[in-house]
Amino acid sequence: MTEHRVGIIMNGVTGRMGTNQHLVRSINAIRAQGGVAAADGTRIVPDPILVGRSASKVEALAKQHGVARWTTDLDAALADRNDAIYFDSASTGLRAQLIRRAIDAGKHIYTEKPVATTVEDALDLYRRAERAGVRHGVVQDKLWLPGLMKLQMLIDSGFFGRILSLRGEFGYWVFEGDWQPAQRPSWNYRKEEDGGIIVDMLCHWRYVLDNLFGGVKRVMCIGATHIDERWDERGVRYAATADDAAYATFELEHGVIAQINSSWTTRVRRDDLATFHVDGTLGSAVAGLTDCWVQPRAMTPKPVWNPDIPQTIDFFGTWQKMPANRSYENAFKAEWELFLRHVVDGGPFRWNLLEGAKGVQLAELGLRSWAERRMLDVPPLTVGSEQ
């Protein structure tokens, strides 16, 4: 069977997410399975070149994972016409300018989020990509998580009846770095380096809400820097200047109310690191990253308020776990396969740079809502908008 080689410039993959999710569990996994099928019956086989600032790091990463090509010269990589895609998982602050260079070089764009630090920059990337005629996509991985795909199936089947509300809880305790090393890089906690959980997570919640529950119409958000002092990768104490928790309420289409807490300063006592509790007139569900539990209307217990006696109902025991009736791919890999087919076969790809700009818009409005202490409308974001 004929192979269709697709060269991919992978910039910034020496970081945790770039290495684990994009290189190892996505691109290398696709290569190991012999690529993905194109519409004409050929196999699309990715051929990555790893790009990084440190020659020793990027060379070691390439050798460790069997990648033949690597470089520290991004300009040379962009000049090579044999590589069709530019992928970016480098630092947020540099992302927009790097993507512009890739667009100018005629590369198709696939990028992590946030796609930029401002809506204006994000929309500029979309306009440039459209004018250049390059194909573009943004990582929106949570849509392919097994738990959320099960939620989507429940929605499509009418299980909930009319959806009333959503309560989301995301996060865990990120160690300060003194007693134990932190699980996240120190730049996440420096506002001056584009850190902060509002910028990070509201981009995710925008595409989750828009795609599953209805377009976001209004937002009210309160952020906090609960831990104002941390220790970096070298063990040096620094001032944490970025928000490490966000408490947001969203009004969606069709009257749905969503509340999502995002925190790197919470200790987990729930089913997963992220859970989404959906209530509807005919039933409710709680989805984690992989599993989903349901409670239909006919099986809902009838509690009676009486604080003077211990609770007699085992509330956790009244839920049913959805069966694993199918297998699920790694969420990042699933979208990578769709984008590779899009580059080769054409056709629509709805998770594009305009959708990425919507995530940046919601993050900006979340920060503004926090600063102004009020709820804000989320206006439609169009190509010509200067929002």
In a domain, 379, yes or no: no
Name the domain boundary from 321, 340, 366.
321
The answer to whether 118 and 347 are in contact (CB under 8 A) is no
Say yes or no: 147 and 136 in one domain.
Answer: no
Say yes or no: 122 and 205 in one domain.
Answer: no
Beta strands at 163-171 and 257-263: parallel, antiparallel or unpaired: parallel
Q: Give the pLDDT mean for 310-317.
A: 94
Contacts 24+ apart (CB under 8 A), 375-379: 375/218, 375/219, 375/220, 375/249, 375/251, 376/218, 376/219, 376/220, 377/217, 377/218, 378/216, 378/217, 378/218, 378/219
Is residue 384 predicted with pLDDT exceeding 70? no
Q: Give the pLDDT mean for 174-183.
A: 96
Q: Give the pLDDT mean for 72-91.
A: 96
Say yes or no: 10 and 110 in one domain.
Answer: yes
Q: Give the pLDDT mean for 192-212.
A: 97
In a domain, 382, yes or no: no
Name the domain boundary from 281, 301, 321.
321
Say yes or no: 156 and 298 in one domain.
Answer: yes
Per-residue pLDDT tens over the stretch 215-232: 999 999 999 999 999 999
Record the pTM.
Answer: 0.94
Q: What is the Cα–Cα distance from 161 to 282, expressed in whole angstroms?
A: 5
DSSP state of 46: E
CATH number at 252 reads 3.30.360.10
Is residue 330 predicted with pLDDT exceeding 70? yes
Containing structural domain, residue 23:
3-141+331-352
Count how many domains the chain has.
Answer: 2
Say yes or no: 184 and 280 in one domain.
Answer: yes
Q: Which residue has the tokens 């599953």?
A: 212
Q: What is the Cα–Cα distance from 282 to 299, expressed in whole angstroms?
A: 10
Say yes or no: 238 and 152 in one domain.
Answer: yes
Say yes or no: 48 and 60 in one domain.
Answer: yes
Say yes or no: 137 and 150 in one domain.
Answer: no
In a domain, 180, yes or no: yes
In a domain, 360, yes or no: no
Residue 114: asked if its preceding bond is cis (omega within 30°), the reply is yes
What does the CA dihedral 216, 376, 372, 356 come to, rounded to 10 degrees? 40
In a domain, 372, yes or no: no
What is the pLDDT, as a whole number, of residue 159?
98
Name the domain boundary from 298, 321, 344.
321
Q: Using CA of residue 194, residue 338, residue 123, residue 111, what is the dihedral sign?
A: positive
* Angle ∠(104,88,215) on CA atoms, nearest 5: 95
Say yes or no: 67 and 129 in one domain.
Answer: yes
